[in-house]
Amino acid sequence: MASMPTRQLGKNGPRVSAIGFGAMGLSAFYGTPASDEERFKVLDRAIELGSTYIDSADVYGDSEDLLGKYFKKYPQQREKVFLATKFANIILPGGKRVVRGDAQYARESIAKSLKRLGLDSVDLYYVHRIDKNVPIEETVGALKELVDAGKIKNIGLSECSSDTLRRAYAVHPIAAVQIEYSPFSLDIEHENIGLLKACRELGVAIVCYSPLSRGILTGQIQSPDDLEETDSRKQMPRFSKENFSKNLQLVETITSIAKKKNCTPGQLTLAWILAQGEDFIVIPGTTKIKNLEENVATAKIKLSKEEEEEIRKACEKADIVGGRYPEARSGFLDAPIPIPGIGWNWSGLELELELELELELELVGIGIGIGRNWLELAVN
């Protein structure tokens, strides 16, 4: 096994494992969680392999509680781990989601997270979703106070727009932006989004969640029927029975390239993402040690320029069907995202529309609803 490479988190931040571990799946959303002891074994192996950037959140089921129990039982492991967690994304009883990013809630949230984790501080604290009713300056201002108090060491944003990032950075340096990025989701590269550009101008690391597009790019899922009934992916548009088979076409292309490289499609995908720049970090998650070992083994895979370009051309040629999230959850994303068949959902941007443009859009059957900081396009 090759030694784990490290990458710098932000302009002046610490170095962390290039291949981190997304802990969400151990506790929530992907079927019934295993026992604590079984999950401890996965965490043990991740740390042993050098995948020591561990990513959690207060909304990931019992994730923080699990990590708290793990560090209590194995206190020597804490100093080996770079621990990230998040706040502001709330799931209410019944499944309704709300976002809260006010200063008071930030202070309350970190207190509760630290109690669950059994720690005095966390290494990185993300704003999980951007509260469109609270200025980002207030949210980050509160986090700056938490840095000064020693409760958090670095600040991150998740699913933010380039404008939000720049405004946040003016209050306090942002170490990382966590965003979905994979061959299925290259949105941050688009000029009219500008998020990748903003990150690089400011020296902010890009932490890629769902780098294997929630498992599609492993090649191990051949049908939505392969998933448990309680698996949240069954609600994702890309996993619908209508869309899934069409989306497998890109997986098949990547699998073909991987065979020539003598690696798995998942490994090829992770290697390709890491090849996009030294500022890219991936945090694939899994509940199985064999998958964890496969992911970490990506560290030894190097792609030629020709191989990188072949994969990019396949991504650009692919016709991905279905959005990243169900429509009801897309409104919680601050960054604009492409809506299949419509165009861009300009979430998080204040746009002034000329009356003439509004009339033209109405003529082609597109209704416009304007919120405080977002523009939602919906076919009538």
Catalytic residue chosen out of the listed positions 30, 53, 60, 105: 60
Known active-site residue 325: no
Pair of tokens at residue 294: 């496969």
Cα separation of 291 and 304, whole Å?
Answer: 25
Residues counted in the chain:
380
Residue 277 near residue 301, CB atoms below 8 Å: no
SS3 of residue 336 by DSSP = coil
Cα separation of 200 and 215, whole Å?
Answer: 28
Centre a 10 Å sphere on the Cβ of residue 92 and count the other Cβ atoms it contains: 8
Cα separation of 247 and 79, whole Å?
Answer: 41
Cα separation of 105 and 235, whole Å?
Answer: 29
Residue 302 near residue 295, CB atoms below 8 Å: no
Q: Which residues pair with 378 in a beta bridge?
A: 367
In a 13 Å sphere around the CA of 261, the CA atoms on its Cβ side amount to 26
SS3 of residue 126 by DSSP = strand
Catalytically active residues, by annotation: 60
